[in-house]
Structure 1
Amino acid sequence: MTARRLMAALAFSAALVSTGCTAATPADEAAPAGAGAAEPSASIAALPVESMAQIGKARLAEDLIPPTNRWYSGLIFGAEPQPVYPFPIAFAADDDAFTVDLPEVSTTEKTIAASFGGGLRVGLDADRFAAVRADPVSVTLRWSDGDAPVGDVTIAEGSPVVGFTAARDSALVPAAPLRTAGDGVWTAATDGTSFGVVAPGARWDGQTLTVPEGGHAQWFAMPEGADVTEWADALDAPIEAVRVEPGTTASGSSTTLTYAGTDSTVLVPFPTYADAGSDCELGTFSTAYGDADACRGTELAWTVPEIAPRASFDLDGIDGDTRAAIVAQVAADLDATPALPADTYYGGKALARLGALLTLARDLGDTALTERVADRLWTELAPWAEADGCRERDSRCFVYDDGLRTVVGLTPSFGSEEGNDHHFHYGYFLAASAALVSAQPDKAAELTTVMDALAADIAGGAAADALPPLRVFDPYRGHSWASGLSPFADGNNQESSSEAVAAWNGLALWAEIRGDDGLAQTAAWLLSAEVAAARALWLEPDPATLADGFAHPIVSLTWGGKRDYATWFSPEPSAILGIQVLPLTPVTLNYLGQDPDRVAANVSDAGPRAFSGPLGEYVLMYSALGGATSHAAATETVAALPADGVDDGNSKAVMMAWLAAIEASPGR
């Protein structure tokens, strides 16, 4: 790690921890400034203000940024709080209680579920709760009796321990009796699960555990065969927050999570990075994501391969005929481009499609065609780039929602007004804008205000708590969450891992255009982490992490407490696989084809309509990574494909370039 990167990482990690009631230090510290660094606060201030989301009264302290797109969002929003999944446990909250659960894993051919189902309920002398502190990995809830605080509970991903700290002498009433297991240590059992409690100085009278003011009680679910004495010895004070430190080392892109407020606790690494902990002899949990060991410590650290952002296919090695054919197809695809949609998802995809055609024209050296594509892209992008556009019209423009504290298109799509899918949508805008400025640098000045706001919304954050840093990204799991308010009993979810990858690639390309070194670092870290998760959790999960009875090699919908072979929009196998690979930009060549045998197996699993069903052309493109025979077959099929038989975010020219880049790649 260079000195500059180290300083940036330290500033970034400082912005991602909070020990008070507000979410973080000023969030533009999360993306340390370079010479051309964005000014997200000024960009936000330039947008019209309009409340788009109807969220009702959130269970949230007034000075806390609304935590959309978090694993715990379902606790905060909605008429009733939803269960959440601070892996490996599940947790539920009511006005007068909290419940700790260790869900049982159940499996069908299309689902692996470990949903909240009961657990140990702990009653409190309270009538309400609200979040009073939050970071991307942990959240602190405060129970109150009227206006008087009763106590705080902190839950964190990677912690099987729920820590209660008493604001006054507090009576806690568990639904199952406690049995003494040592000084200040008790056990309980319910639903076949063993629970432990460590509460120094507390008194148990057979029904109520009384915790003195300032004291704490840590409640935990133990895996089968675990020793409560060993767990009690491992627990110091409760966790107060989790610090996130990204970095770059010689071996890749790193993440370090430090569980603050304690000198010792029990941590559980997520199964995709099982070696992230140390001293892992406290038992093994069976989870929907595979076995997970319990470790003594205060830190989890791991490294994934570093993935470089990428805008272009490597077409240097293609022959003249192929080059000419792609150029001709770019022109044909441009001429066939209809008026673009006015919402942020389909509109963003269509803009990115034009951006991809523009990059192809530039890379292939056709100056006149480059200007034609750039002019069309600017015509379509210019209205979106007007910061005050929504004062004049109700589409193709953005506003700042000061209630949910988010940037949102005035024509919503897929619940974007509630925070849904912003990284998917805005990644397309950022990629298109980067392509345009690369071709026509004079357009940068007109694009920066709005595009900087979009970048800040999904990742960078903004000062004065206008936007949170890392809105959608979960550093513990290493991937993003798509639902803004998460009104689901199975936790938050993300469907398209590949659109998340495309989002961070678009963010990185825009950061490069802006000369913002800090944002570029953040984007590169997000990109590398999301790629690793896309492979390990969606496209190429280790069969050992897929429970017996699950009948597919991929997972297409990942939840806090469940894994589904499904999509939100189609039951067709082609769609289930296709949504995990689109939009098949150049950066996907860096990771999708690393295991050709797995590619072939995934395509085979999609069945006889793999190429003809919904999103089938993306599956066709993906299949070309499965070996020389599959590549040849895909090339023949694409050659005969009518241009109007392609998804509106794709183009035949890009399909041809994709196949040509694979053919020209080293080692083939």
Structure 2
Amino acid sequence: MSGTPDDSDHGHDDESNADTDRVDLSRRGYLAGVSTLGAAGIAGCAGASEATATGAPATTTATAEATTAAAGDPTVSVGAGSYTTRLPSGEEAPPEQVYATSDLLAPFPTNEWWSNLLRSQYGAPMWAHPLVAEPTGAGLDLSYPTEWTFSTVAGDTNRNNVAEMDDTTDLTLSTTGADFADARCAGYGDWHVDVHWGAGDTTTPTLDATVTQGSPFVFAEVTGADAELSFAATPDVWADQGNVLGVTVNGHHYGLFAPAGATWSGVGSATLTSALAGDGYLAVAVLPEATTTALSRYESYAYNPITGTTVSWTYDETAATVETTHAFDTAPRGESSTTGTIAALYPHQYKHTAATLDGDTFVSPRGTMETTTGASFTTTLDLPPTLPYLPATESADQSRLAGYVDDAEAESPLVRSGPEQPGDGTYWTGKNYERLLQLRPIAEQVGDATAADAFDAALRDDLETWLDATVSGDSTSEDVFYYDGTWGTLIGYNDSFGSGPELNDHHFHYGYFVKGAAEVARTDPTWADDANWGGMVELLIRDYASPDRDDPLFPFLRNFSPYAGHSWAAGNPDFDLGNNQESSSEAVNAYAAILQYGAFTGDTRLRDLGAYLLAHETAAVEEYWYDVDEENHPADWDYSYAAMVWGAGYKYDTWWTDDVEAIHGINVLPVGGHSLYLGRDRAAAQATYDELVAANGGDTFGYWPDVLWSYRAFSDPADAVSLFETKPESYAVEFGESRAHTYRWLTALSDLGAVDASVTADAPLAAAFDDGTTRTYVAYNAGDAETTVTFSDGTSLSVPANDLATTTASSGSGGGDGDTERAPTVESVSTATRTTGPWTNVTVDWSVADADGDLASVTVELRDAAGATLESATTSVAGGSASGTTELRTKATPETVAVTVADGATNETTTTTTL
């Protein structure tokens, strides 16, 4: 969750190429082309930014065409759905004023490290790392934080809950005679911002500065005055080369770079000025050390101001990796002696790049940053193991699980809401969807088609209510999406936790909606056609993660910060500590939702967008929330896990409670097949769980026991099952959970074992597990035809269309682990069924193969809805391939056919096909 003053009571009761143009992520023609939205709709949504008066911040005013549309019918149709351009009655919209220069138009970025600049007169500290920049009436305060401070929050006075870096100002970049009425955003890229002072003043000079995340430089331009640098104390000037100075203040070293021919006056005082030789530009850089060698090195790049920052990505499905390039555009000045720039890389970047690191390091709240030089650098991250749901396994009591499904089905209404419980608003509605979308496949697995249909119907009916503004009408604020043209955003009302006026948490909330839509599309992809509900679903995706910088309605990747590698939650980050994100797991859920939606609808462009976001968010979560390598959090802090990551540091706390269970659980929920990244490092999961138990005073949980048991299953699934069994019928079920899902999750991981991240697959929805003796491979095929998924250890798995399949092999038997004996594969299975009197006869045609030429046997089983074997037959085979036909009959009702092939080394592979 994000933080604003309104968030303090977060519901604890339950709680191949460069930029996106080259990535070629289509917008489905922006709702199947501009014609779908209509000219009036676009005018009503996009708007044009104009200054309301001289000196006033920019606001967005609708065109005459849009005004006419709003005065008549504010409803914009999108396929079968719609949204409104009129604010629902009684609701609060985001502010009308945007602190941007008049040439900037909506949509505006709202959840970045710098976007506080857009919300108020001067904004707030912008934690760019390694620098912190804060606009003021005098200019730009700069600091290089290197020291940690620790404090407590209410409820835990004995431990240092808060770790933040001290950003005491080192110097102020300004002009002589400066007294600016405001500071405004004058431009931005994917991770830089241009700040302008003086646009509304008639008697003062102007100042422009570019601040870039990861850059040690601030580039500035001055008109109508001399440049002025005011220091916190008289700086030590240890190098004076005329236009270039090396100075130290507060123990931090800086290089000051004026144009050739310029000089600095005031040396020996706390204020330095320069006429800048009439050229009006300068650069300030934090230096790694106070040496002329460092000063000379940074001088080489000080005259290459950064003018653009662009991220691009490619998802390699075969290798299961995401390759991401961060590129810097620069505009060299006459003094420039090289190309490119110096960039300081975060741990999640330099640990995964082949770029040459220069040896310079900087301190930051995210840990040590290491520098590289050039115009770009590239990282390669693994796509984390991801499944839409876990497979059915043997240890679950099927009748018990079916009973839990029946209990959930009996709830009325299935989508819970109302004044007596937290069910209203976009957040709680989304958690309803999460519960239903997890229940539906479990109902399918236990053979309860009636319950599965009920969960599906409740899910799609409520989604369709929200995705159609005509259902609620314009007179109510309930269950409707409103487009705000001032900022460029889609807001669901009732809103939750500042998602309306503050624009907080859109990825958290809408991610649940998209995931619910993905579950509907899993078996009914036509529901997600543009002519049906797909257009509205994609509007939600575009609102929190639009992949197109030219999107007329939404900013590029609203919630995701490309250089930081993770999301920010606050849409109004007006905090001294910068922006923040609490529930990193809900951010992961939002991006897994995009990946699944793209897979289930056959939109590989959306799938690849989800893969990019998912790979980075999970890598950042491991580095900065869980600090799995124990390198990034401050050594003197009392914790090894952070519930909240801030620009300035970390908090072991939540926005609404100091309960230890919530502090840990908020970065676990919602639990599902997207959560497997939390088990990629089993030792780290164990360490974090131990920290939870120690802080909680034991492993008896009462706040969110199901969520914490589910996390425990990553490090010790047997213990997790044991904890569940202490009170399986009496614990309080978390709002987005169900007893059926928790039981399925715990028993499945108990059978499957640990997540084996060393094995990847050439499909986006796949995972491997290892219990110490057996490795289990799982994959979901979202396509309409049977396919073969190949894992990185050489194992192949035949997966029927629109289905989940598993296979097993002895641990270490895969080709990637040094054992040359690979698991055999089931190449194909086809069935024919006929009924004769009381008998059901099933004919099974199969083909199998073994790369080592060591086939031994094929076993065919008929299984009932609970997975029990009704009839079976085994055929001996030999060599490298074989095919055959097996005929079985039963008086019971078979639901599935399982074909198991074994080799001479007892490796086995099983494929299950639904009859």
Q: 1:297 to 1:39 in 2, by over 3 A?
A: same
Q: What is aligned with 1:242? A: 309
Three-state SS of the structure 1 residue aligned to 2:345 is coil
2:517 to 423, 433, 436: 433
Distance between the aligned counterparts of 2:243 and 2:190, measured in 1?
32
Aligned amino acid, residue 343 of structure 2: L
**Structure-1 residue corresponding to 2:792:** none
Which of 379, 393, 401 in structure 2 is aligned with 1:302? Answer: 379
| 1:172 counterpart SS class | strand
Paired with 1:489 and 1:564, the residues of 2 have a C-alpha distance of 14
Range moving further from structure 2, 68-77 or 226-235: 226-235
Do the aligned residues in 1 keep the contact of 2:122 with 2:184 (CA within 8 Å)? no
2:258 pairs with one of 199, 217, 220 = 199
Distance 1:385 1:264, change over 3 A: closer
1:263-285 per-position Cα deviation (integer Å, ceiling 9, x unaligned): 23221101233354855446322
After TM superposition, the structure 1 = structure 2 runs for residues 623-634 of structure 1, keeping only pairs within 5 Å, are: 623-634=712-723
Is residue 390–residue 673 contact of structure 2 (8 Å, CA) maintained in 1? yes
2:139 corresponds, among 91, 97, 118, to 97
Find 2:220's aligned residue among 124, 149, 164. 164
Pairwise CA distance, 1:309: 4.6
- Structure 1 distance, partners of 2:508, 2:750, is 29
Alpha-carbon separation, structure 1, partners of 2:706 and 2:368: 36
Instruction: For 1:386-535, list aligned pairs within 5 A.
Output: 386-388=468-470, 389-417=472-500, 418-441=502-525, 443-444=527-528, 445-460=531-546, 465-535=552-622
Q: Could you state the TM-score of these two structures normalised by the residue count of structure 1?
A: 0.89
Q: Which residue of 2 aligns with 1:12?
A: 20
Whole-angstrom CA distance in 2 between matches of 1:612 and 1:66: 43
Return 5+ residue gaps in structure 2 as ranges.
Answer: 1-15, 46-75, 78-82, 151-159, 267-271, 332-338, 418-422, 753-768, 772-915
Quick one: distance in 2 between partners of 1:53 and 1:541?
Answer: 40
Q: Is the 8 A contact 1:623 1:634 kept in 2?
A: no
Quick check: 1:112 aligned with 2:163?
yes
Aligned to 1:259, the other structure's residue is in SS state strand
SS in structure 2 of the partner of residue 526 of structure 1: helix
In the alignment, the residues of structure 2 paired with residue 71 and residue 659 of structure 1 have an alpha-carbon distance, to the nearest angstrom, of 38
Secondary structure in structure 2 of the residue aligned to 1:649: coil
Could you tell me how far apart the structure 2 residues matched to 1:511 and 1:390 are? 30
Q: Select which of 674, 681, 690 maps to 1:604.
A: 690
Q: Per the alignment, do residues 192 and 116 of structure 1 end up closer, same or farther by CA in structure 2, a change over 3 Å counting?
A: same
Does structure 1 retain, via aligned residues, the 8 Å contact 2:31–2:535? no
Give 1:406 shift: 0.8
Q: Is the 8 A contact 2:713 2:750 kept in 1?
A: no
Identity of aligned residues (%): 25
Residue 107 of structure 1 and its aligned partner are, at CA, apart by 4.2
Residue 139 of structure 1 pairs with residue 179 of structure 2: no
* 1:642 and 2:730 aligned: yes
Shift of 1:253: 1.2
- What's the counterpart of residue 323 of structure 1? 398
Amino acid of the residue matched to residue 455 of structure 1? Answer: I
Equivalences for residues 149-228 of structure 1 within 5 A: 150-166=206-222, 170-175=226-231, 179=237, 181-201=240-260, 202-206=262-266, 207-211=272-276, 215-225=280-290, 227-228=294-295
1:45-101 Cα deviation digits (max 9, x unpaired): 542114543435332123243220001012221354201111111111123311210
Do structure 1's residue 87 and structure 2's residue 129 form an aligned pair? yes
Residue type of the alignment partner of 1:254: E
Residue of structure 2 equivalent to 1:121? 172
- Superposed CA RMSD: 2.8
* Structure with higher helix content: 1
Please report the TM-score for the alignment, with normalisation by the length of structure 2. Answer: 0.66
For residue 290 of structure 1, what is the amino acid of its counterpart? G
Q: Deviations over 1:195-236 (max 9, x none)?
A: 111122333233412235655311012234553222213434
Which residue pairs with 2:909 in the alignment? none
Separation in 1 of the partners of 2:603 and 2:368? 40
Aligned-partner Cα distance in 1 for 2:403–2:564 = 44
* Aligned residue identity for 1:550: W
Say which is worse superposed, 240-249 or 345-354, in terms of deviation.
Answer: 240-249
Further displaced range: 561-570 or 279-288: 279-288
1-structure distance, mates of 2:604, 2:28: 5
In structure 1, the partner of 2:85 is 49
Flag the structure with more relative contact order, 1 or 2, with Cα contacts below 8 A and sequence separation at least 6.
1
> 1:270 maps to what in 2?
346
Which residue of the partner structure matches residue 25 of structure 1?
A: none
Counterpart in 1 of 2:25? Answer: 31
Cα distance per residue 1:575-633 (max 9 Å; x no partner)? 111001101111212x1112333222222212236552432321111112212542342
**Is the contact made by 1:574 and 1:609 (CA closer than 8 Å) also made in structure 2?**
no
- Mapped to 2, the partners of 1:81 and 1:483 lie a distance apart of 14
1:255-266 pair list within 5 angstroms? 255-262=324-331, 263-266=339-342
**8 Å contact 2:148–2:164 — kept in the other structure?**
yes
Decide whether aligned partners of structure 1 residues 204 and 311 sit closer, same or farther in structure 2, where only a CA change above 3 A counts: same
CA contact (8 A) 1:236 1:264 kept: no
Shift in CA distance, 113/269, structure 1 to aligned 2, threshold 3 Å? same
Distance 1:495 1:234 in 2: 37
Contact kept, 8 Å, 2:348 with 2:565, in 1: the verdict is no
- Name whichever of 64-73 and 475-484 sits farther off: 64-73
Q: In structure 2, what is the Cα distance between the partners aligned to 1:177 and 1:104?
A: 18
Task: Please state how far the C-alpha of 1:183 moved relative to its aligned partner.
Answer: 5.0
- CA distance in structure 2 between the aligned counterparts of 1:105 and 1:427, rounded to whole angstroms: 37
- Residues 298 and 213 of structure 1: is their aligned pair in 2 closer, same or farther, counting only changes over 3 Å? farther
Give the partner amino acid of 2:507. Answer: H
Letter in 2 for 1:203: T
The 1:616–1:160 alpha-carbon spacing in structure 2 relative to 1, beyond 3 Å, is farther
Q: Give me the whole-angstrom Cα distance separating, in 1, the residues matched to 2:257 and 2:280.
A: 11
Which region of structure 1 is more displaced relative to structure 2, 237-246 or 213-222?
213-222
Cα deviation code 1:628-666 (max 9, x no counterpart): 54234234246x2337x1011111111011113212324
Aligned residue among 441, 448, 460 for 1:378: 460
Instruction: In structure 2, give the amino acid aligned to 1:552.
Output: Y
C-alpha distance in structure 1 between counterparts of 2:285 and 2:30, whole Å: 48
Structure 1 CA distance, aligned partners of 2:161 and 2:602? 45
In structure 1, how many angstroms separate the alpha carbons of the residues matched to 2:228 and 2:664?
Answer: 48
| Greater shift in the superposed pair: 526-535 or 439-448 | 439-448
* Greater Cα radius of gyration, structure 1 or 2: 2
The 8 Å contact of residues 433 and 459 in structure 2, kept in 1 or not, is answered as: yes
Does the 8 A contact of 1:624 with 1:659 survive in 2? yes
Match of 2:361 in 1: 284
Determine helix, strand or coil for the equivalent of 1:626.
Answer: coil
Residue 770 of structure 2 corresponds to which residue in structure 1? 667
The 8 Å contact of residues 253 and 290 in structure 2, kept in 1 or not, is answered as no
Count of residue pairs brought into register by the alignment = 642
Q: Quick check: which one's strand share is greater?
A: 2
Worse overlay, 539-548 or 419-428 = 539-548
| 3-state SS in 2 of match to 1:371 | helix
Is the contact made by 1:169 and 1:211 (CA closer than 8 Å) also made in structure 2?
no
CA contact (8 A) 1:309 1:527 kept: no
Give the match's secondary structure for 2:163: strand
* Alignment-mate amino acid for residue 298 of structure 2: W
Distance 1:625 1:297, change over 3 A: same
The aligned counterpart of 1:254 is 323
Conservation of the 8 A alpha-carbon contact between 1:37 and 1:514:
no
Tell me which residue corresponds to 1:538.
Answer: 625
Q: Distance in 2 between matches of 1:632 and 1:78?
A: 51
Matched AA of 2:389: S
Equivalent residue for 1:23? none
